Amino acid sequence: MSTDTGNALDVSVCICTYNGADRIALVIEALARQTDRSARWDVLVVDNASKDDTAAVSRAALVALMPGRGRCVHEATPGLMHARRTATREARGAFIAFLDDDNIPAPEYIQRLLEVLPRHPRAGVLGGRVVPEWIGEPTPLGVAVASFALAVCDRGPDAFAYQDVTGGPAGAGMIVRRALMDRIFEESALARTVTGRTGTALTGGEDTAIVIRAHQLGYDVRYEPELVVAHRIPAARTSPEYLLRLYEGIGRGQAAMRPLFDPKARSRLLAALIALKEGARCLIGGVRGPSASVVREYGALAPDVHRLQQRQTYGRFHEGMKRAFARR
């Protein structure tokens, strides 16, 4: 039985990809190996302004491995939220399971998802365990911060509902009720403000923006550990240089989405004061060095983690000031 009335399918698996020609086939192969062979789900690839052969590779793999179950569409405007808008418009399922082009779902992923959904009729967002599959040897720093910065997620063996307004699963393998995505994209200011990653830029925040709106609209946001996705992470993404760019992008995304849950950030004056506070925090942190809690958690890596956190704070400051004085 379908989870929502009026939908032919329960789940559309949507892979939003930019220049993913060398990665996308592995995701499609994993979906072709799913233990659930029912007609309750389909696959949609959204080629987000790629400059390589992503579309051709995707279509060839879908035809060869999943004939009749998958489609590939094009979104010309760069940005993950633009790609997700197209996915939402094109999806046929009541829920959209968003996969990145480096996410490999476990063979029983769809089967488990179809079992979970009827148990939680108020679920708006769900996600499970995301385990790292390192490509090359990661740096100790990258491994240490992977659960925060690299979409690795393991919150234990028990399912639960998140309570905090910003609390939610990792973006890798995030499942969202399509009606919620429709509602989000009706709010044009949100989609325009939080565009997500664009091309090779590392600005984030789009996943948390979805989670915030789910909480605000009264949906449950759930962790379901039986939903397992492997995240293929090249070792290059664990270099200090990459992580510094990533943390700054995370900070920028946090500043961009703050008005969603903090009314003060909707005022130009108060938004500027919030940004200046972040700037002051960055300066003070530079003088004081890593906190005692960071030293306890990360040991010898504490100075490097502190440097990343400083860059994140700077990202919030810079983006906050830019938005406070931007034309509206």
| Nearest alpha-carbon partner for 210 in 238, 241, 245, 168 | 168
Q: Of 124-128, 139-143, 163-167, 217-221, give the lowest mean pLDDT range.
A: 163-167
pLDDT band at 5, cuts 50/70/90?
very low
Q: Write out pLDDT tens, residues 58-75.
A: 999 999 999 999 999 999
Residue 8 burial by Cβ neighbours in a 10 Å radius (0-12, 13-18, 19+): exposed
| Nearest alpha-carbon partner for 228 in 30, 22, 28, 94 | 30
- Among 197-201, 236-240, 263-267, name the most confident range: 236-240
pLDDT band at 309, cuts 50/70/90?
very high
DSSP 152: -
Q: How much is the pTM? A: 0.89
Using the predicted structure, report yes or no on whether residue 326 has a pLDDT greater than 90. no
Mean predicted lDDT score pLDDT of the chain: 92
In this prediction, residue 272 carries a pLDDT of 95
Using the predicted structure, report yes or no on whether residue 175 has a pLDDT greater than 50. yes
Using the predicted structure, report yes or no on whether residue 183 has a pLDDT greater than 60. yes
Q: What is the mean pLDDT of residues 25-42?
A: 98
pLDDT band at 107, cuts 50/70/90?
very high
Residue 328 burial by Cβ neighbours in a 10 Å radius (0-12, 13-18, 19+): exposed
Round to whole Å and give the CA distance between 100 and 103: 5
Residue 178, strand partner residues: none
Tokens standing for 209? 């923006």
Tokens standing for 222? 């759930």
